[in-house]
């Protein structure tokens, strides 16, 4: 069996192993081995040069796969569940007293809410959700624009 066939066989075996393992390690080895086999087939190099080419290609593939995997697997910075309400607008359904709790409607749901700056917020006022603590919203009066 010729050297290039061995490299391609090793590459295919590594790609098959990659299917059953997490991460991109074996894929890097597989692509490196296949490309080394192609280079060996074209140029017919001695074993030390083949190993050097394999190491360089595998390293480059691993670095590029790592960057790609970080983009694909990166954690979303977008908030979910109740925390997605932060920054949304709502309307006071039950007055929020100073140092007390009222209710705010956002979309079709009502949430218990307190004022961020401990001021009274009247019923029907528009508010912005500053943050979420447990199942309670911390809100503040929405600034009125000249356009409204």
98 and 69 fall within a common domain = no
**Whether residues 10 and 65 fall in one domain:** yes
**Which residue shows structure tokens 């607008």?**
89
- Tens digit of pLDDT for each residue in 62-71? 999 888 777 7
How much is the pLDDT for 148?
Answer: 47
Tokens of 13: 């075996």
Domain count, the chain: 2
25 band by pLDDT with thresholds 50, 70 and 90: confident
43 and 65 within one domain: yes
First to last CA, the chain: 80
CATH number at residue 123: 2.40.50.140
- Which residue range(s) make up the domain with 124? 81-141
The DSSP secondary structure of the chain, one letter per residue, reads --HHHHHHHHHHHHHHHHHTSSSSHHHHHHHHHHHHHHHHHHH---HHHHHHHHHHHHHHHHHHHHHHHHHHHPPP-S--GGGGGTT-EEEEEE-B-TTS-EEEEETTEEEEEEETTS--B-TT-EEEEEEEETTEEEEEEPPPPTT-
- Give dist(CA 34, CA 13) in Å, integer: 10
pLDDT of the residue at 66? 82
Which of 32, 48, 73 is the last residue before a domain boundary?
73
Indicate if 65 and 98 belong to the same structural domain. Answer: no
Q: Tell me: pLDDT of 146 over 60.
A: no
How many other β-carbons are positioned within 10 Å of the β-carbon of residue 39? 18
Residue 17's pLDDT is 96
The pLDDT of residue 145 is 67
Residue 8 near residue 34, CB atoms below 8 Å = yes
Instruction: Give tens-digit pLDDT for 26-79.
Output: 999 999 999 999 999 999 999 999 999 999 999 999 999 888 777 777 666 666
Kindly state whether residues 24 and 53 are assigned to the same domain.
Answer: yes
């Amino acid at each position: 069996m010729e050297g290039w066939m061995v490299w391609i066989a090793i590459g295919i075996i590594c790609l098959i192993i990659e299917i059953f393992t997490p991460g991109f390690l074996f894929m890097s080895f597989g692509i490196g081995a296949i490309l080394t086999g192609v280079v060996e087939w074209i140029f017919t190099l001695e074993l030390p040069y083949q190993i050097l080419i394999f190491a360089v290609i595998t390293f480059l593939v691993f670095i590029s796969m790592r960057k790609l995997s970080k983009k694909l697997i990166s954690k979303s910075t977008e908030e979910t569940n109740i925390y997605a309400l932060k920054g949304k607008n709502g309307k006071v359904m039950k007055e929020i007293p100073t140092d007390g709790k009222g209710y705010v409607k956002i979309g079709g749901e009502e949430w218990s809410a307190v004022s961020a700056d401990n001021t009274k917020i009247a019923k029907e006022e528009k508010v912005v959700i500053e943050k979420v603590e447990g199942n309670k919203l911390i809100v503040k009066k929405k600034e009125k624009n000249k356009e409204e």
